[in-house]
Amino acid sequence: MMQKGALNVQKIREDFPILKRKLSGDKPLVYLDNAATTQKPLAVINAIHDYYMNYNSNIHRAVHQLAEEATLEFEKTREKVAKFINAKKTEEIIFTRNATEAINLVAYSWGRANVKKDDRIVITEIEHHSNIVPWQILTSEKRAKLEYVGTDDNGYLKLQEYTNYLESSKKVKLVSVSHMSNVLGTIVPVNDIIKMSHEKGIPVVIDGAQSVPHMHVDVQKMDCDFMAFSAHKMLGPTGVGILYVKEEILEKMPPFIGGGDMIKEVHKYETRYNDLPYKFEGGTPNIADVIGFAAAIDYLNDIGMDKVRDHEVELTGYALDKITGVKGVTVYGPHNTKDRGGVISFNIGDIHPHDLATIMNDHGVAIRSGHHCAQVLMERLDVAATSRASFYIYNTKEEVDVFINALEEARRLFKI
Amino acid sequence: MSDDIYREIILDHYRNPRNKGKLVESDVSIHDSNPLCGDEIDIHLKVDGNNIKDIKFEGRGCAISQASASMLTEMIMGKPLTSVKDLTKEDILENIGLLNLGPARIKCALLSLKVLKLGMVKYYADRDPDSAKKLQSDSTGM
């Protein structure tokens, strides 16, 4: 029963060869680990294949035709990324290995140049380790202080704590926050946080790893200063991260990784660095996968990010209704689908998430179990681990039913 | 298949672990965790001459890791160190009756053995360096 304007999921599924796979013998794959990484459509796989088959070459240097073609395609991706998040200029888009490296780039380059003793960096309890550890390293090196904004029991940030930090006499140098929790799915009101921080002249890093793949994100409208996200969580290949930085900030940042491609001239004891954004892309980049990423962006644009979001809201609502009906289940995070992405973290009775994931696998269902690289949040929730089901454009209500049946089976097995 | 893994005996040891807790006086205490799962096990040993006089474990994690630890303590209580020292992965998997675990879950089952071996490395470090060395190499890759 297709709704008018809804995704044609069956047609989408045909574009993903892996969805034809079976697990545990004869069980059709139900892939619900999309917050970790998404599957890749044939268009992405073909784009990478085509590059290696037909125009593999290093970029930005040689003048032969292969290099020209590769450089052109590589830079086309940069333009597509800039448009996708509505950056003002393509120069504001830097390719890294992943979102983690993108955040580290901010910490090592901007952070080292600007953060001083006793300065404070404010993050939150919902952060992924990638938005915690770089700041721990930086603050310990600079003898600065790392502060956390807490969450309430429903997974919402305690926004008042921002006000407390920002109004305090101790200097806050940077605010870094996830746009969407990878565990709870909470959508964070980043616009308000950015506005509050900017009123005090404090720049804001947004970890968009979970939001950019699942909803329309406009960096100019949001007015963030930095944004990090990852290609592989939005149909693209692994090995490609993106860092967006406002041009006026980027212009003042010292380089991150020194080496080839990031320079204009190198002399014995000094170097003139390359223009933006190349100054921040030392060494041969991941050319094939960056080119593959362009096909992923095209794919998402063809669908439309608002439709992606609508589909996930509907699926998440359906799944939340069903899962809360299973005896012994605790769901973490906001229950209102308006405030959460397509991520459901839960526990059932005393079944450890890894035992549950093993049982799920017998039914062909791939979910994630563990601390989800968010041990600070796990401590806050007072759980060792959770199970997590996360959705994307190719998931269906029928798959949610298979997942719920597997959950009921686990409950029976553990006599809960 | 899950039905074979989560049998009555595994669930029983998971929910009613034997020899769980601390020892008032232990000769060796050792802790390790499985970064994949976050399973944690501490083992406390009291050695009397050449025998394991008492053993207790603490831990949290999945049913396989915790049941395996509980069953291990029962298996080696009062046994001579010489026989405990040579315990193999296969002995443990046989003891818990799980011979077909996949590569990810087998680490859960073997965590307690790894911790026990590391504990004995500590115990033998001064007393018998050769045994300590062998136990150390046994424990890597578990």
Instruction: Tell me: do A378 and A297 sit in the same domain.
Output: no
> What is the number of structural domains in chain B?
1
Residues spanned by the domain of B62: 2-139
Residues A344 and A290 reside in one and the same domain? no
Residue A3 lies in a domain: no
Question: Which domain CATH number covers B107?
Answer: 3.90.1010.10
> A301, A329, A355 — which closes off a domain?
A301
A389: closest CA among A379, A380, A401, A376? A401
Q: Is residue A295 part of a domain?
A: yes
Same domain membership, residue A336 and residue A285:
no
Is residue A4 one of the residues assigned to a domain? no
**SS3 of chain A:** CCCCCCCCHHHHHHCCHHHHCEECCCEECEECECCCCCCCCHHHHHHHHHHHHHHCCCCCCCCCHHHHHHHHHHHHHHHHHHHHCCCCCHHHEEEECCHHHHHHHHHHHHHHHHCCCCCEEEEECCCCHHHCHHHHHHHHHHCCEEEEECECCCCCECCHHHHHHHHCCCCEEEEEEECECCCCCEECCHHHHHHHHHHCCCCEEEECCCCCCCCCCCHHHHCCCEEEEEHHHCCCCCCCEEEEECHHHHCCCCCCCCCCCCEEEECCCCEEECCCCHHHCCCCCCHHHHHHHHHHHHHHHHHCHHHHHHHHHHHHHHHHHHHCCCCCEEEECCCCHHHECCEEEEEECCECHHHHHHHHHHCCEECEEECCCCHHHHHHHCCCCEEEEECCCCCCHHHHHHHHHHHHHHHHHCCC
Same domain, A66 and A145: yes
Integer Cα distance of A49 and A46 in angstroms: 5
**A133 and A186 both lie in a single domain:** yes
Q: Catalytic residue at A373?
A: yes
Instruction: Show which residues on chain B lie within 8 Å of chain A, measured between beta carbons.
Output: 1-3, 5-6, 11, 14-15, 36-39, 60-64, 105, 108
The tens digit of pLDDT for each residue in B79-103 reads 999 889 899 999 999 999 998 888 8
Q: Which of A301, A325, A349 is the last residue of a domain?
A: A301
Least Cα separation, residue B63 to chain A (angstroms): 7
Residue A157 in domain: yes
Let me know whether A75 and A54 are in one domain: yes
Which of A24, A27, A347, A355 has the most B C-beta neighbours within 10 Å, making it the best mutation to test the interface with B?
Answer: A355
CATH code assigned at A401: 3.90.1150.10
Do A277 and A199 have their domain in common?
yes
pLDDT in tens, A88-129: 999 999 999 999 999 999 999 999 999 999 999 999 999 999
pLDDT tens-place string over residues A318-372: 999 999 999 999 999 998 999 999 999 999 999 999 999 999 999 999 999 988 8
Report pLDDT for A4. 53
In a domain, A153, yes or no: yes
Contact A354 B1 (CB under 8 A): no
Asked if B6 and A355 come within 8 Å (Cβ–Cβ), the reply is yes
Residues of A in contact with B6 (CB under 8 A): 355, 359, 413-414
Q: What pLDDT, on a 0 to 100 scale, did the predictor assign at position A121?
A: 98
pLDDT at A24 over 60: yes
What is the interface size between A and B, counted as CB pairs within 8 Å?
44
Q: Do B38 and A385 touch (CB under 8 A)?
A: yes
The residue annotated as part of the active site, out of A132, A313, A373, A389, is: A373
Mean pLDDT of A373-392: 92
Q: Tell me whether residue A156 is in a domain.
A: yes
Confirm whether the ipTM is greater than 0.95: no
Residues of A in contact with B60 (CB under 8 A): 384
Q: Is residue A243 part of a domain?
A: yes
Q: Are residues A269 and A340 in the same domain?
A: no
Question: Do A279 and A140 belong together in one domain?
Answer: yes
Residues of chain A contacting B69 with CB distance shorter than 8 Å:
none
CB atoms within 10 A of CB A78: 21
Range of the domain at A256: 46-301
Q: Is A362 an interface residue toward B (CB < 8 Å)?
A: yes
Does the pLDDT of residue A2 top 60, yes or no?
no
* Residue of B6, B39, B60 lying closest to A414 (CB–CB): B6
B138 pLDDT tier (thresholds 50, 70, 90): confident
Q: Where residue A269 falls among pLDDT bands split at 50, 70, 90? A: very high
Q: Is A384 close to B61, i.e. CB distance below 8 A?
A: yes
Flag whether A28 is in a domain: yes
Chain B contact for A358 (CB, 8 A cutoff): yes
- A392, A290: one domain: no
Residue A66 to chain B, least CA–CA distance (Å): 43
Q: Could you say which of A350, A371, A413 has the minimum Cβ distance to residue B2?
A: A413
Same domain, A352 and A217: no
Q: How many domains does chain A fold into? A: 2
Residue A108, domain CATH = 3.40.640.10
Say yes or no: A270 and A346 in one domain.
no
Q: Which of A252, A284, A301 is the last residue of a domain?
A: A301
